């Protein structure tokens, strides 16, 4: 028997009709999908094309930019601009805010076209992550950078695995899988499991001695209750947490013997990494906090590439951690 799975676009059209929404978001998502499919293609064939090397330039965060990072960034920019729906964008790869259709655009898009770059030379999972906010349609737009709470949608493609997860504000978190025709199909609603048996803890254990004492203590007392998994790419690690439950954490580094290596503000970027997974997690029934135990979705960004610590996952674990962080 042939099986005809619902495609992402069919799903989205129905979703927009059910909620009586405009077609603008469809056009925006179509452009994001176009970019993602091409990133997927280049990633899968990158080794053959010699694209896995370093590009020789340095990005805003001072890391080496891989050739594929450049390609992915150009692809996303091209399709976002072509959609005509984007006011301005923030990309992990570019220092400045990228103006697009400033007068006529409707959305702000904050994205990281290739997150988890240490996996690139190995062809292991990376993420294309994005958050979307809407311009002020009621009055003058002041172009301020939006907090996660104001996103209308956020999602991530895990590449080359071929999964796509998208969360809508107050309308759930959904996962799709790429098929042989490069369509994302088979919508599955993601709800974090309550059963702790499957829960996992995910963090870079090489840093554990450098975390705040209260965080180290919690890990020592609790982590053996759960399986430990760490892939080194947020999209991949969070993908697992969203399915199995548990907690992903990238705490602030405050006790490094070489103080220059401390990261009191955390490592992950707020707008296109932490807030994206926090938004998806909320829509799946979970939560996320920063190093002060505050709801991550409430942080108002002061600058596009702001960093934050991140604790995200099943609500009972994140809430327990939040209490510990508030008390430290
Ligand atoms: P990367 O530096 O390899 O690009 O913020 C980027 C990120 O990867 C995340 O995807 C990942 O979760 C984290 O950093 C990995 O950092 P560590 O190498 O310190 O574990």
Closest CA to 314 of 292, 272, 285, 289: 285
Q: How far apart are CA 129 and CA 132, in angstroms?
A: 10
- How far, rounded to the nearest angstrom, does the alpha carbon of residue 168 sit from its chain's CA centroid? 14
Pocket test for ligand 1, best of 234, 249, 273 (most atoms within 8 A of CB): 234
- How far, rounded to the nearest angstrom, does the alpha carbon of residue 149 sit from its chain's CA centroid? 14
CB 293, CB 324: distance < 8 Å:
yes
Among protein residues, the one with the nearest Cα to ligand 1's atom 18 is: 232
Is the Cβ atom of 92 under 6 angstroms away from ligand 1?
no
Is the Cβ atom of 273 under 6 angstroms away from ligand 1?
yes
pLDDT in 10s for each residue of the chain, 328 residues:
667 899 999 999 999 999 888 899 999 999 999 999 999 988 888 755 666 655 555 566 666 555 788 889 999 999 999 999 999 999 999 999 999 999 999 999 999 999 998 898 888 999 999 999 999 999 999 999 999 999 999 999 999 999 999 999 999 999 999 999 999 999 999 999 999 999 999 999 999 999 999 999 999 999 999 999 999 999 999 999 999 999 999 999 999 999 999 999 999 999 999 999 999 999 999 999 999 999 999 999 999 999 999 999 999 999 999 999 999 8
Question: Looking at residue 61, what is its pLDDT?
Answer: 66
Question: Looking at residue 52, what is its pLDDT?
Answer: 61
Phi, psi of 270 (to 5 degrees): -65, -55
The pTM score is: 0.94
Question: Looking at residue 53, what is its pLDDT?
Answer: 57
Task: Please tell me whether the peptide bond between 22 and the residue prior to it is cis, using omega within 30 degrees of 0.
Answer: no
Which atom of ligand 1 is closest in space to residue 114's alpha carbon?
4
Is the Cβ atom of 290 under 6 angstroms away from ligand 1?
no
Angle (nearest 5°) at CA 274 between 316 and 135: 115
């Amino acid at each position: 028997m042939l099986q005809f799975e619902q495609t992402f676009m069919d799903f989205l059209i129905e979703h927009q009709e059910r909620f009586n929404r405009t077609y603008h978001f469809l056009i925006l998502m179509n452009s994001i999908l176009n970019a993602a499919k091409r990133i997927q293609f280049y990633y899968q064939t990158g080794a053959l094309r010699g694209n896995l090397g370093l590009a020789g330039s340095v990005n805003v965060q001072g890391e080496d930019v891989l050739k594929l990072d450049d390609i992915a960034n150009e692809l996303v920019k091209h399709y976002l601009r072509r959609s005509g729906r984007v006011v301005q964008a923030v990309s992990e790869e570019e220092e400045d805010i990228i103006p697009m259709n400033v007068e006529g655009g409707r959305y702000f898009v904050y994205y990281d076209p290739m997150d988890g770059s240490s996996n690139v030379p190995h062809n292991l999972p990376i993420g294309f992550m994005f958050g979307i906010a809407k311009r002020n349609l009621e009055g003058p737009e002041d172009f301020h950078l939006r907090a996660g709470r104001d996103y209308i949608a956020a999602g991530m493609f895990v590449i080359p695995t071929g999964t796509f997860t998208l969360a809508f504000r107050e309308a759930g978190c959904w996962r799709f899988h790429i098929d042989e025709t490069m369509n994302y199909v088979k919508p599955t609603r993601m709800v974090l499991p309550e059963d702790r048996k499957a829960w996992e803890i995910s963090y870079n254990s090489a840093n554990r001695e450098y975390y705040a004492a209260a965080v180290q203590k919690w890990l020592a007392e609790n982590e053996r209750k759960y399986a430990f998994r760490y892939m080194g790419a947020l999209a991949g690690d969070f993908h697992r947490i969203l399915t199995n439950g548990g907690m992903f954490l990238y705490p602030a580094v405050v006790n490094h013997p070489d103080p220059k290596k401390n990261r009191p503000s955390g490592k992950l970027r707020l707008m296109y990494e932490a807030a994206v997974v926090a938004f998806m997690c909320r829509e799946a029934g979970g939560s996320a906090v920063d190093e002060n135990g505050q709801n991550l979705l409430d942080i108002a960004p002061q600058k596009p590439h702001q960093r934050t610590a991140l604790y995200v996952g099943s609500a009972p674990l994140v809430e327990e951690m939040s209490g510990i962080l508030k008390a430290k």
